A = this chain, B = another copy of it.
Amino acid sequence: MMKINSVEKSSTSNVGCNISLIQEQALFKNVPQNRLSWLKDLQAKQIKVPARSTIFKEGKPHDYIYTLFSGWGIIYKTVSNNGKRQILRFLLPGDLIGFQADKANVIAYSSATVTSSVLCAFSRKKFHSLLKESPELAVRILEMECMSMSLCQNHLMATGRKTARESIAFILMELYCRVKKQVSDSFCEDNNSIAFPITQEDMGDALGLTNIHVNRVVNELMREKLIYLNKKRLTILNEKKLSEIAEFSPTMIEGNTLI
């Protein structure tokens, strides 16, 4: 599995606040137009970040929260006594990054990009003060955090009580469906296929397995003609069978609206 080795580069090109840009974000789906004027104060900035670079590090204070505009990312924690990495979640466009933090703005996990990505950064302080003013925003964040919680619980279930074969089938189906739902770019115009930029080592670090064992299982699934995975592209050849092995259902990634 991946041991600690962090890349520290980030080319930031600030674009300033742009309401129409902000409105596109899943985050502000239910916030009424007249409430969006508040967002000027957030001084949102667009940031372009290269692949495999750190967004923030666990244990350090960090004054921004982000939404992912384009690209893939991860949040993860590191076991300090042996350097092993646990990926907590794969981030896709529209996802919120780094909302949870303690009183000193310290985040308990790290975040990094997988592909080159575009982030939208918000001041945490201003974001928090906005929560008071806009119940819609608070509820919207709550909806998103509930979705993240479900992902985390299913992930825990896979890691704790499923075999390598079952849990690998599970994240493949989960990521496939999340991409189909959240991303609508040229990468996924094929019918049963998505761009799949994560490595087998990433998959192992998400599921508590080694890249070597992930490789053996992935090849087994390919020999059985359930999937085809090659050159950063995943094709689901037998969605029904794979879902059965995984005990995956698309309802698992449907969010809920609270208001």
Contacts and interface: CB of A to CB of B under 8 A. Distances in A.
Nearest to A99: B146
Report copies per complex. 2
Interface of A: 77, 79-81, 84-86, 88, 99-103, 108-109, 128, 131-135, 138-139, 141-142, 145-146, 148-150, 152-157, 159-162, 206-208, 247, 251-252, 254, 256-259
Cβ-closest 7 pairs across A and B: A160-B208, A138-B138, A135-B135, A86-B161, A86-B157, A84-B161, A152-B152
Contacts of A153: 77, 88, 108-109, 152
Contacts of A160: 86, 159, 206-208
Contacts of A99: 146
B142 A77 contact: no
A212 to B, nearest CB: 16
12 contacts: A77-B153, A77-B157, A81-B247, A102-B254, A128-B258, A128-B259, A132-B135, A133-B135, A135-B135, A142-B142, A152-B152, A160-B206
A88 B156 contact: yes
Nearest to A209: B160
Given A102-B251, A156-B86, A131 B135 contact: yes
B101 A256 contact: yes
A154 B77 CA distance: 9
Nearest to A134: B135
A161 B85 contact: yes
Nearest to A85: B161
Nearest to A162: B79
A149 B152 contact: yes
Nearest to A88: B153
A100 B149 contact: yes
A162 to B, nearest CB: 7
A80 B159 contact: no
Contact of A102 (B134, B141, B256): B256
Contact of A156 (B139, B141, B156): B156
